Amino acid sequence: MWRLSLQDIAVRYGQKTVLDGVSAQFSGGEMAGVIGSNGVGKSTLLKAVAGLLPHAGSALLREDSGEVGTRRDIAYVPQLGAMNTRLTVFEMVLLGLIGSLGWRVTPEQTAQVEEVLRELGLLAIARQPFSTLSGGQRQLVTMAQSLIGRPKVLLLDEPTSALDLRHQLIVMNLAQDYTRRTGAITLFVAHDLTLTSRYGDRILLLQGGKVRAFDSPQEVLRPEPLEEVYQVGVSLQATQMGFLSVIPTKPL
């Protein structure tokens, strides 16, 4: 089993400290939601783990056998944004293999791309320009680009923020299925606490650049920490599916 260990992760921009000694342990097959108020460092944490930002502390990926993971084992999926490109869906996903691409695309690499597109139901639009896709389709293609390398850690930065309800479920179900099936570790940033409760095996709550709580949804999503962090009153209800529905009631 793969394990991801964060030890005293700290990020500073000039005189401003964004993250201040974040430590947590994650296990293979686990999805963990990262929550907190705006500007608390959620996206910064994922970028630090991905090696995209200079930081103090360490993020170590290790298998129980002793094998140590590398940066190539970690895939970061950024927030969905505008992208003007003439690349097709096939070409966008192929870029996920950039570390192993040569002057020619091999039949094996073509087969890899087609396999991932088939798994995500995107094969029919493989030759379509990426810029012509809907937001939901773009997010799925971005996920396919990350998953083609079969990462051991998947970092999703607000993967549902620009999606309708149907595509929110499609994207999160895809991440959950990949995590369970491969034993990967998935960290996802979300503002929707109900969604986080549904898909997060554990939840990391950040406050002031530090870990306020890190536990099961039932332990983290409680009135006291949520009201302190978000400055709103909350009502919590258990759903028939077994996760918590978090309803903001009034600003404090």
100-137 in b/e form (b: 16+ CB < 10 A) is eeeeeeeeebeebbeebbeebebeebbeeebeebeebb
Is 114 a member of any domain? yes
Q: How many domains does the chain have?
A: 1
Is 243 a member of any domain? no
Residues 6+ apart with CB under 8 A from 82: none
Residue range of the domain that includes 108:
2-217
Report the CATH number that the domain containing residue 174 is assigned in CATH: 3.40.50.300
Residue 152 class from Cβ within 10 Å (0-12 exposed, 13-18 middle, 19+ buried)?
Answer: buried
What is the mean predicted confidence (pLDDT) over 131-149? 90
Nearest of 171, 137, 166, 167 to residue 156 by alpha carbon? 171
pLDDT tens-digit map of 168-191: 999 999 999 999 999 999 999 999
Is 35 a member of any domain? yes
Distance CA 56, CA 145 (A): 29
Is the pLDDT at 235 greater than 90? The verdict is yes
pLDDT value, residue 119? 87
pLDDT tens-digit map of 31-62: 999 999 999 999 999 999 999 999 999 999 99
152 vs 136, residue with greater confidence:
152
Is 222 a member of any domain? no
Cβ-contact 19, 41 below 8 angstroms: yes
Nearest of 187, 188, 193, 184 to residue 149 by alpha carbon? 184
**46 CB neighbour count, 10 Å cutoff:** 24
Cβ-contact 24, 213 below 8 angstroms: no
What is the mean predicted confidence (pLDDT) over 239-243? 92
Is the pLDDT at 97 greater than 60? The verdict is yes
Among 8-12, 83-87, 92-96, 247-251, where is mean pLDDT lowest?
83-87
Is the pLDDT at 140 greater than 80? The verdict is yes
pLDDT tens-digit map of 193-215: 999 999 999 999 999 999 999 99
Is 66 a member of any domain? yes
pLDDT value, residue 79? 84
Average pLDDT, the chain: 93
Residue whose entry in the numeric block shows the structure tokens 């006291």: 224
pLDDT value, residue 82? 59
Is the pLDDT at 101 greater than 60? The verdict is no
pLDDT value, residue 96? 87
Is 15 a member of any domain? yes
Is the pLDDT at 166 greater than 60? The verdict is yes
Cβ-contact 210, 22 below 8 angstroms: yes
Is the pLDDT at 20 greater than 70? The verdict is yes
Nearest of 32, 38, 49 to residue 220 by alpha carbon? 32
pLDDT value, residue 84? 73
Q: How confident is the model at residue 16 (pLDDT cuts 50, 70, 90)?
A: very high
Is 189 a member of any domain? yes
Is 89 a member of any domain? yes
Among 1-10, 135-144, 189-198, where is mean pLDDT lowest?
135-144
pTM: 0.93
